[in-house]
């Protein structure tokens, strides 16, 4: 964090324009995109210089709202008088570090000869992506707006869902060099103040160069950094973020990152999805159970295969035993090698599919389909049951709504495969016990991760395995320890009495 120009950091702004320009040139040496426009203000007759970084500022705004009124509008004519500009936000700045920061963040700064304060003008306008459909979290019935890379816009997107004065925002700056704006959004009359305090303290403690995106922030603020389970949900859907805020959670918006973080969350939160609340409740209940089943399938199935083939083939039904024996008889590798070969192929195909550009990506699918589906079996390298198992695990991991949880399941799968090779079903059960024990011990922002199952909170069960109708979910989840528990009144009471 060595700054060559420490000497000018907190110095006051020199009143003479020439001195100021030399100092600016000194601070921003080798910065050719720094524009310094000298001008004479018609309103007061003073000499001035307008400084901004080309590219980070909105040119139209500078031309129309700053330069045009300063150059052509007649004013009082007295030096030191009020400057009239049509910019929304004008802030007088007194010291250098502030000025430097506002220039670097896209504001333009106006220095006026003879004045001890400079004016930072909000003319921010950097290259921006339009708001698009969320890419990772597609939804059938939800909104089609996803977060973008500008923090203010993301906050605005959330505010659209909660136009309430209790929606508060704590703004923090993280990163010495990056100066990333991190905003914490919460409902003041709902969220537990202790949780909020804990979260803010954790963010304030971070001492790094820069936070590039939410994933990096996660590593600094999560409770158990050595766990393989995600302890914060990252979402790119404003509707999902808004609904989490309403449940008493905090949402962390990191400027320049197209997703936001939700905390505190529990294990079951990763199996919920915005669409769950807009489809009919029996269907979303079915989907919940399907996802849980898929999680355990994705984690356990190859392990079970290995355990059965290596230790417990007495449990295979006779007809399957004959087919399995037939196809295993030709495979030259032990089941562990067979399984790990296929699982690694699958992981590589998946990874390749993410990184490759779309036109090449199709080739991966075809090659993978042929390799996994046909060739390995015909060549006698892999048994056809193994192919079915790999496809089944792949499909299972695709239906989970949260990518981080899928990643955890994938890692667990490999550990369980090793345990199954060493100890068969005993190993798998030990693995399951360790996993459950870990899930129970885990905390997200100090709140139990296993809630509402461990600790048992029956009132929260209505949005876990079963998603009860919305008009019965009258309380906010207790797992977030909200200070206002009541969420809604009895909406359908009239009809029930009929």
Partner 1 sequence: MKARLNIALLAAAIVCLILKGSSDQLNLEDSALPLALCLDLDQNDELHIYTSSPVFGKNIKKKTHEIDVKARALRQSRTMQNEQSPGFVQGRNVQVILIGRRMLQHKDWFRLTDIFFRDARNTITDRMIAVDGPVSEIIYLNLEDQPMIPSLLRGMVDTKSAVSETANTTAQELRRQFIDTGITPSMAEIKLKNKVILLTGTTLLHKNGTYAASLGPQETVLLSILQKKAKPGVSFSYLIPGQPKSGPFETDTLSFSAGKIKTKIKTSYRQGRFQFDINIKSAVTLSERLFPYDVYKNANALEQKVAEQMEGQFESLIAKIQQHHIDPIGLGLYARSYEHKQYKKVEDHWADELSDAKIKVSVDIKIGAMGPVK
Choose the binding region for partner 1 from 66-74, 145-153, 269-277, 324-332 (rule: CB under 8 A). Answer: 324-332
Among 309, 346, 386, 447, binds partner 1 (CB under 8 A): 309
Choose the binding region for partner 1 from 114-122, 181-189, 355-363, 420-428 (rule: CB under 8 A). Answer: 420-428
Residue 488 φ/ψ, nearest 5 degrees: -155, 165
Q: Are 336 and 421 in contact (CB under 8 A)?
A: yes
Contact call for residue 422 and partner 1 (CB under 8 A): yes
Give the shortest CB-331-to-partner 1 separation in angstroms: 7
Contact call for residue 314 and partner 1 (CB under 8 A): yes
**Rounded to whole angstroms, what are the CA distances from 498 to 71, 172, 472, 495?**
74, 53, 18, 5
Pairing mode of beta strands 108-112, 47-53: antiparallel
Contact call for residue 373 and partner 1 (CB under 8 A): no
**DSSP state string for 420-467:** HHHHTHHHHHHHHHHHHHHHHH-EETTEETTTTTTTT-GGGGGBTTSB
Q: What are the residues whose beta carbons fall under 8 Å from the beta carbon of 278, sequence distance 6 or more?
A: 141, 142
Residue placing its CB nearer to partner 1 in the complex, 286 or 425: 425
Distance in angstroms (rounded) separating the CA atoms of residues 304 and 427: 10
Distance in angstroms (rounded) separating the CA atoms of residues 132 and 4: 42
Among 313, 341, 414, 471, binds partner 1 (CB under 8 A): 313
Residue 259 φ/ψ, nearest 5 degrees: -140, 160
Q: Are 408 and 324 in contact (CB under 8 A)?
A: no
Contact call for residue 423 and partner 1 (CB under 8 A): yes
Distance in angstroms (rounded) separating the CA atoms of residues 234 and 259: 6
Residue placing its CB nearer to partner 1 in the complex, 311 or 392: 311
Among 15, 145, 213, 310, binds partner 1 (CB under 8 A): 310
Taking the CB of residue 247, how many other CB atoms lie within 10 A of it? Answer: 21
Task: Say how far residue 319 (Cα) sits from the centre of its chain.
Answer: 49
Contact call for residue 281 and partner 1 (CB under 8 A): no
Q: What are the residues whose beta carbons fall under 8 Å from the beta carbon of 115, sequence distance 6 or more?
A: 15, 46, 80
**Rounded to whole angstroms, what are the CA distances from 426 to 111, 251, 415, 432, 433?**
75, 41, 14, 10, 11
Residue placing its CB nearer to partner 1 in the complex, 434 or 465: 434
Among 36, 104, 143, 321, binds partner 1 (CB under 8 A): 321
Residue placing its CB nearer to partner 1 in the complex, 424 or 482: 424
Give the shortest CB-325-to-partner 1 separation in angstroms: 4
Draw the binding track, 208-247, toward partner 1 (x: CB under 8 A; -: no contact).
------------------x---------------------
Contact call for residue 311 and partner 1 (CB under 8 A): yes
How many residues make up the chain in this entry?
Answer: 498
Residue placing its CB nearer to partner 1 in the complex, 253 or 340: 340
Among 7, 11, 152, 326, binds partner 1 (CB under 8 A): 326
Among 325, 373, 437, 455, binds partner 1 (CB under 8 A): 325
- The residues facing 180 across adjacent strands are 174
Taking the CB of residue 485, how many other CB atoms lie within 10 A of it? Answer: 14
Draw the binding track, 327-346, toward partner 1 (x: CB under 8 A; -: no contact).
-xxxx--xx-----------
Contact call for residue 316 and partner 1 (CB under 8 A): yes
Choose the binding region for partner 1 from 10-18, 161-169, 403-411, 422-430 (rule: CB under 8 A). Answer: 422-430
Choose the binding region for partner 1 from 10-18, 140-148, 202-210, 316-324 (rule: CB under 8 A). Answer: 316-324
Residue placing its CB nearer to partner 1 in the complex, 104 or 430: 430
Choose the binding region for partner 1 from 107-115, 141-149, 252-260, 421-429 (rule: CB under 8 A). Answer: 421-429
Residue placing its CB nearer to partner 1 in the complex, 337 or 360: 337
Distance in angstroms (rounded) separating the CA atoms of residues 438 and 109: 54
Nearest to 189 by CA among 223, 164, 211: 164
Give the footprint of partner 1 on residues 178-207 (CB under 8 A).
none
Give the shortest CB-221-to-partner 1 separation in angstroms: 16
Using CB under 8 A as the criterion, which residues of the chain lie in contact with partner 1 when the complex forms? 226, 309-311, 313-314, 316, 318-319, 321-322, 324-326, 328-331, 334-335, 421-424
């Amino acid at each position: 964090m060595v700054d060559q120009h420490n000497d000018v950091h907190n110095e006051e702004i020199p009143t003479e324009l020439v001195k100021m320009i030399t100092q600016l040139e000194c601070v921003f040496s080798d910065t050719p995109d720094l524009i310094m426009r000298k001008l004479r203000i018609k309103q007061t007759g003073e000499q001035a210089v307008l400084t901004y970084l080309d590219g980070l500022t909105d040119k139209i705004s500078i031309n129309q709202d700053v330069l045009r009124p300063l150059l052509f509008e007649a004013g009082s004519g007295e030096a030191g008088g009020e400057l009239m500009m049509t910019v929304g936000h004008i802030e007088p700045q007194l010291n250098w570090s502030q000025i430097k920061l506002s220039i670097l963040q896209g504001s333009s700064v106006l220095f006026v000869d003879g004045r001890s304060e400079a004016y930072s003008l909000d003319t921010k306008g950097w290259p921006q992506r339009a708001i698009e459909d969320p890419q990772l979290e597609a939804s059938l019935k939800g909104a089609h707006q996803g977060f973008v890379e500008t923090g203010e816009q993301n906050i605005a997107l959330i505010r659209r869902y909660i136009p309430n004065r209790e929606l508060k925002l704590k703004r923090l700056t993280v990163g010495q060099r990056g100066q990333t704006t991190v905003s914490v959004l919460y409902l003041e009359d709902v969220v537990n103040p202790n949780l909020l305090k804990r979260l803010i303290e954790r963010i304030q403690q971070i001492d790094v160069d820069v936070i590039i995106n939410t994933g990096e922030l996660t590593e600094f603020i999560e409770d158990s950094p050595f766990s393989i389970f995600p302890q914060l949900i990252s979402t790119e859907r404003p509707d999902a973020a808004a609904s989490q805020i309403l449940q008493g959670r905090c949402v962390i918006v990191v400027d320049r990152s197209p997703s936001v973080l939700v905390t505190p969350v529990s294990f079951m939160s990763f199996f919920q999805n915005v669409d769950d609340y807009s489809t009919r409740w029996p269907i979303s209940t079915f989907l919940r159970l399907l996802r849980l089943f898929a999680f355990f399938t994705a984690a356990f199935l190859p392990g079970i295969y290995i355990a059965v083939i290596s230790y417990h083939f007495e449990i295979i039904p006779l007809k399957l035993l004959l087919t399995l024996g037939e196809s295993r008889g030709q495979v030259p590798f032990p089941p562990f090698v067979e399984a790990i070969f296929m699982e690694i192929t699958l992981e590589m195909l998946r990874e390749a599919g993410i990184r490759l550009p779309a036109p090449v990506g199709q080739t991966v699918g075809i090659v993978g389909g042929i390799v996994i589906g046909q060739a390995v079996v015909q060549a006698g390298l892999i048994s056809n049951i193994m192919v079915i198992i790999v496809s089944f695990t792949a499909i299972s991991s695709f239906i989970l709504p949260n990518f981080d949880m899928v990643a955890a399941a994938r890692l667990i799968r490999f550990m369980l495969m090793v345990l199954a090779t060493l100890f068969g079903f005993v190993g798998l059960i030990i693995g399951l016990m360790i996993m459950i024990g870990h899930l129970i011990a885990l905390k997200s922002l100090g709140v139990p991760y296993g809630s509402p199952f461990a600790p048992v909170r029956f009132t929260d069960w209505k949005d876990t395995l079963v998603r009860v109708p919305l008009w019965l979910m009258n309380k906010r989840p207790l797992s977030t320890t909200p200070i206002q528990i009541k969420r809604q009144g009895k909406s359908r009471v009239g009809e029930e009495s009929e």
